[in-house]
Chains A and B, each alone.
Chain A
């Protein structure tokens, strides 16, 4: 498929929500894609088709509907494995989202592998979902949680990592592949190299990266990888935890219940094969199938084209932003090192006021701490405004944002 901007124009037709207006009949300009994305007809139709024609529980019954739903659910697993280049489908576990994936690791791996005095290392630009589960674990185990610091450019100080690794006490290094606030793309290769040399496992929060660039888990070399469907056109409530099989085999179950067992007796149980050992209860079948449809959609566009489109938009937006007096962008200015996420503050206007005023112009922009209060403290701000792009955004959307910022300037007499 061609990566011309005209092919991206056609994409908008697949998203029914982009046709609606908001507030005073203003066209919707949706710029909160780092939070969640809109859904194309192809995904909505897949869910509807499942409920209208195939609905049945999976993995048990022998009748036709059950066979169809099982087949659809399991083929979504194969599509996702293929999308992130995972060779062994047993390593792909369906969860509710990135948050549940990380909690699963903290519980099912952490509780049996982390002891008093051990260290878990995370970073200053993590989402709360990659901080709080580790606080819970380290407090319970009397272990320590340490942070890789960030420089003023929004990049990690890997000297901090060396310092912690040198203690010989680190059990896990966990980091996001792309910051949800700064858009910084983490140098995962370098971190993993250092950790491997020290015999330390690595977990990657891929929630912001997988929707926006090609990710190859076969070559990346981490041990745990988590991402969410709803940030990449799929429905809410489905996500993926990938765990290297050799590590997965050392883990206890997370939830106990149906489907995760082989045999249950009064006082003991044996576990089902991987990955089902970690998928207790009836899963979110319809939305997993929707996730499969989203993967098909993105595969058709090509992830390199998605990345290229966002680079162009981000570059265009950053150039426009640079011309607005008093507008401060956080994070690196180097487009190659950042995704399509731009956090900013506008003079002394609180981000909440910015978002409120431009909402009246039909623009959905996020304001707040973006579930990254540790980072807000590091930046010494209470909050930021954040624009984040996806495949259906256009340069016209950026122009509309710039125009609405002029209204903010007028109201606050900037």
Chain B
């Protein structure tokens, strides 16, 4: 159970101190930004895409430990994957990786902000490069209803 201080386990604290894939990609193929108005967390994701695969991904912004850890894990999962595979990443993939399945409702937004941004980045890319309107609509709905 993620109650008490046990959501702040070693992995979360380490990731928040030393986030992975943190930074910017100057020559990105797509970039996307979103924020949580409630707590002020704010995340940007830059992606480099080659041959329908994410060859590089970085995130930057401000967030709490949960937000930073989840963003790190998400970018680790995403790197090297095809766009088709990334479309299928869902919230349980992130939450289970960090043992956050039972996160309380007010913190779920911290955990999933970067996934929302990733989906935004993906539909932006699909729209400008592949004209995959069906994929875009599905991703937009998914992103809107993520939490």
Whether B39 contacts A367 by the Cβ 8 Å rule is yes
Whether A376 contacts B40 by the Cβ 8 Å rule is yes
Whether B5 contacts A350 by the Cβ 8 Å rule is no
Whether B13 contacts A412 by the Cβ 8 Å rule is yes
**CB closest chain-B residue, reference A356:** B107
Q: Cβ of B16: which chain A residues have Cβ within 8 Å of it?
A: 350, 353
Q: Give the contacts of A158-196 with B (CB-CB under 8 A).
A: none
Give Cα A373–Cα B35 distance, bound, in whole angstroms.
13
Whether A357 contacts B8 by the Cβ 8 Å rule is yes
Q: Cβ of B62: which chain A residues have Cβ within 8 Å of it?
A: 350, 382
Whether A383 contacts B40 by the Cβ 8 Å rule is yes
Q: Cβ of B3: which chain A residues have Cβ within 8 Å of it?
A: 360
Known: A350-B63, A352-B64, A353-B64. A411 touches B42 (CB 8 A): no
| Min CB–CB distance B44 → chain A (angstroms) | 14
| Min CB–CB distance B10 → chain A (angstroms) | 10
Query: Which of A348, A349, A383 is B39 in contact with, Cβ under 8 Å?
Result: A383
Query: Which of B39, B63, B66 is A368 in contact with, Cβ under 8 Å?
Result: B39
Q: Kindly state whether residue A96 has any CB partner on chain B within 8 Å.
A: no
Q: Give the contacts of B50-78 with A (CB-CB under 8 A).
A: 62-68
**CB closest chain-A residue, reference B106:** A356
Q: Kindly state whether residue B110 has any CB partner on chain A within 8 Å.
A: yes
Q: Cβ of A413: which chain B residues have Cβ within 8 Å of it?
A: 13
Total residues of chain A contacting the partner, CB 8 A: 21
Query: Which of B4, B5, B13, B39 is A352 in contact with, Cβ under 8 Å?
Result: B39
Q: Most A CB atoms within 10 A — which of B5, B38, B62, B67? A: B5
| Min CB–CB distance A359 → chain B (angstroms) | 9
Q: Kindly state whether residue A277 has any CB partner on chain B within 8 Å.
A: no
Q: Kindly state whether residue A152 has any CB partner on chain B within 8 Å.
A: no
Whether A352 contacts B8 by the Cβ 8 Å rule is no
**CB closest chain-A residue, reference B14:** A413
| Min CB–CB distance B30 → chain A (angstroms) | 24
Q: Kindly state whether residue A334 has any CB partner on chain B within 8 Å.
A: no
Q: Give the contacts of B63-105 with A (CB-CB under 8 A).
A: 63-68
Q: Kindly state whether residue A303 has any CB partner on chain B within 8 Å.
A: no
Q: Kindly state whether residue B41 has any CB partner on chain A within 8 Å.
A: yes
Give Cα A373–Cα B64 distance, bound, in whole angstroms.
17
Q: Cβ of B5: which chain A residues have Cβ within 8 Å of it?
A: 357, 360, 407, 411
Q: Kindly state whether residue A144 has any CB partner on chain B within 8 Å.
A: no
Q: Give the contacts of A339-388 with B (CB-CB under 8 A).
A: 348-353, 356-357, 360, 367-369, 373, 376, 382-383
Give Cα A356–Cα B103 distance, bound, in whole angstroms.
11
Q: Kindly state whether residue A319 has any CB partner on chain B within 8 Å.
A: no
Q: Most B CB atoms within 10 A — which of A349, A350, A357, A360? A: A350
Whether A353 contacts B66 by the Cβ 8 Å rule is yes
| Min CB–CB distance B103 → chain A (angstroms) | 10
| Min CB–CB distance A352 → chain B (angstroms) | 4
Q: Kindly state whether residue A24 has any CB partner on chain B within 8 Å.
A: yes
| Min CB–CB distance B21 → chain A (angstroms) | 19
| Min CB–CB distance A382 → chain B (angstroms) | 4
Q: Cβ of B13: which chain A residues have Cβ within 8 Å of it?
A: 411-413
Give Cα A317–Cα B65 distance, bound, in whole angstroms.
26
Q: Cβ of A353: which chain B residues have Cβ within 8 Å of it?
A: 8, 16, 64-66
Q: Give the contacts of A183-230 with B (CB-CB under 8 A).
A: none
| Min CB–CB distance B39 → chain A (angstroms) | 5
Give Cα A360–Cα B107 distance, bound, in whole angstroms.
14
| Min CB–CB distance B63 → chain A (angstroms) | 7
Give Cα A73–Cα B61 distance, bound, in whole angstroms.
50
Q: Cβ of B40: which chain A residues have Cβ within 8 Å of it?
A: 368-369, 373, 376, 382-383
The 8 closest A-B pairs by CB, nearest first: A350-B64, A352-B64, A382-B62, A369-B40, A411-B8, A353-B65, A383-B40, A353-B64
Chain A residues at the B interface, C-beta cutoff of 8 Å: 24, 348-353, 356-357, 360, 367-369, 373, 376, 382-383, 407, 411-413
Given contacts A357-B5, A411-B8, A412-B8, 19 further A-B contacts (CB under 8 A): A24-B4, A348-B17, A350-B16, A350-B64, A350-B68, A352-B41, A352-B64, A352-B110, A356-B64, A360-B5, A367-B39, A368-B38, A369-B40, A376-B40, A382-B63, A383-B40, A407-B5, A412-B65, A413-B13
Q: List 8 A-B contacts (CB under 8 A).
A: A350-B63, A350-B65, A352-B41, A352-B67, A352-B110, A353-B8, A368-B40, A412-B8
